Structure 1
């Protein structure tokens, strides 16, 4: 009897070890969901669009799209969420350029056919390369816009390199808080290699902050976005009935109005 109990215990421990080990080893495959393409040229997507190459400090060349507007009032650095590629953000760029704003659609390492593997540290280098490019090229005030995971990316950047304004769409408190909601059976905070502590970082941002979120967000709960807004003392814009990937949170009037309204 005792032998059977020990065998059962050993099997259980092995299963738990395999589950936890797999979650640790493959976690970035669950967090980052890039699409490679193929992608059209920027000029084929929007008039006056430019294909640009951003060079990171660790030597990667990242393809991105730049949509300059003559006489632009500001330029928006768009840091996307964890899925897709820059082609998914074209409706936003179209709406923002129509409002007189230049736009840079960044694709991270591993996205849109770019080299490299995404990670928290890697994305921080990628967004710095994008900001470096805009400082050289844009000649306008910079607005950082982050979508979901991208909110954490631009918030960390804003601490070190303050923009004229920071607009966050569906930000989360930190990555573990989102992970725990979706994987309640795992000790997510112990397992995660990437932290993305948006709430802690945003409290240190000196620029004006606006937070836009969907009231019915099933990926990043609305209460997490509100917690980020409280930490920043931010203006908040709730989009009634909107889920995480609804068009209202991609190029809807509330979102575009929030970004355009952040122009200094």
Structure 2
């Protein structure tokens, strides 16, 4: 019996017959922190997978359905609905808005406008008539998947759309390439820069490029908006405007608000810095900042005086 109680292997106090010591508080804390970190990492992986899978739904936020010309008000008689055919057999709906007193001639000018990622053309009516007051016609077609248009938007698909719109303006509406000014807002700035770059590869240059509240790349913007996600790794549609703008030969005008919370001001400035100092026609690049303006403030600026100096420089260089 005494031998039985003395046996270490059978002692109720464990090996050696002594009671096991409680874990130090530091070990418990480390275990607890590990559990939290593992949980957070699992959540991060899940969110990253969701972002990767649904990223285009975050980037492209179209408003679908019929589009009204009501916002044109008294100018509606100068608005003509148009349809542009793409190479993959889609029909893009848009508006061709004539400036007052416009006559068909090789000298007439056109602003080809590329909107941002949200809504549709309906609420850009006042922007188009702003360019009319500068003596330019204006043309805006919604991207595929926006407004009445079928299809799904992506960077490459929209690049195809923009080239189709350009071709329609030149071949069907008979505007001279050197009389067409490209203008893009936000994501549309990436579209317009890509179009100008694609045209340059073909030896064609538009009359100018206006970039409103746009970015160096969508990757940079995404990394700013979602710093805790691996945007630089997983983003598919990248819109690398900063890599393209240096190869352009047309005049460039960049506008950006210093209180932009969507596309930071410094991205607009970096994009401008990457542009050539002047065009082949001798027009120096131009940057205009607006200290109190946010993202949409710059997009929806409709005072012609904002753009007047750039148009004067383009016209004087001809």
Do the two structures share a fold, i.e. TM-score over 0.5? yes
Does the Cα contact within 8 Å between 1:34 and 1:84 map onto a contact in 2?
Answer: yes
What aligned pairs does 1:73-88 form with structure 2 within 5 A after superposition? 73-88=108-123
Structure 2 CA distance, aligned partners of 1:6 and 1:99? 64
- Offset of residue 9 of structure 1: 7.3
- 1:29-66 alpha-carbon deviations (Å, 9 max, x no partner): 11111111431259876222111111111221111111
Does the Cα contact within 8 Å between 2:208 and 2:250 map onto a contact in 1?
Answer: yes
**Of 137-146 and 127-136, the range deviating more from structure 2:** 137-146
- 1:62-114 alpha-carbon deviations (Å, 9 max, x no partner): 11111134236310100111111111211011111122101001210111121
- 1:139 partnered with 2:175: yes
**Of 183-192 and 240-249, the range deviating more from structure 2:** 240-249
- 1:177-225 alpha-carbon deviations (Å, 9 max, x no partner): 1111111110111110100001111011111111111122111111111
**Map of 2:288 onto structure 1:** 237
- 1:106-133 alpha-carbon deviations (Å, 9 max, x no partner): 2101111211111101110111111011
Q: Which runs of 5+ in 2 are unaligned?
A: 1-27, 200-204, 278-284
Structure 2 CA distance, aligned partners of 1:124 and 1:18? 31
**Map of 1:153 onto structure 2:** 191
- Offset of residue 227 of structure 1: 0.8
Structure 1 CA distance, aligned partners of 2:67 and 2:50? 33
Does the Cα contact within 8 Å between 2:64 and 2:148 map onto a contact in 1?
Answer: yes
Structure 1 CA distance, aligned partners of 2:286 and 2:162? 24
**Map of 1:19 onto structure 2:** 47
Structure 2 SS opposite 1:105: strand
Summarize the Cα distance change of 1:195–1:128 in structure 2 as closer, same or farther, 3 Å threshold. Answer: same
Does the Cα contact within 8 Å between 1:64 and 1:104 map onto a contact in 2?
Answer: yes
Of 49, 60, 67 in structure 2, the residue corresponding to residue 32 of structure 1 is 60
Structure 2 CA distance, aligned partners of 1:252 and 1:168? 16
Of 128, 131, 152 in structure 2, the residue corresponding to residue 117 of structure 1 is 152
- Structure number with greater Rg is 2
User: 1 or 2 for the larger relative contact order (CA 8 Å, sep ≥6)?
Assistant: 1
Does the Cα contact within 8 Å between 1:89 and 1:250 map onto a contact in 2?
Answer: no
Of 51, 60, 84 in structure 1, the residue corresponding to residue 90 of structure 2 is 60
Paired positions, count: 264
- 1:250 partnered with 2:288: no
Structure 2 CA distance, aligned partners of 1:258 and 1:197? 28
- 1:213 partnered with 2:264: no
Task: Give the alignment's Cα RMSD to 1 decimal.
Answer: 2.5
Q: Which runs of 5+ in 1 are unaligned?
A: none
Summarize the Cα distance change of 1:152–1:245 in structure 2 as closer, same or farther, 3 Å threshold. Answer: same
**Of 239-248 and 9-18, the range deviating more from structure 2:** 9-18
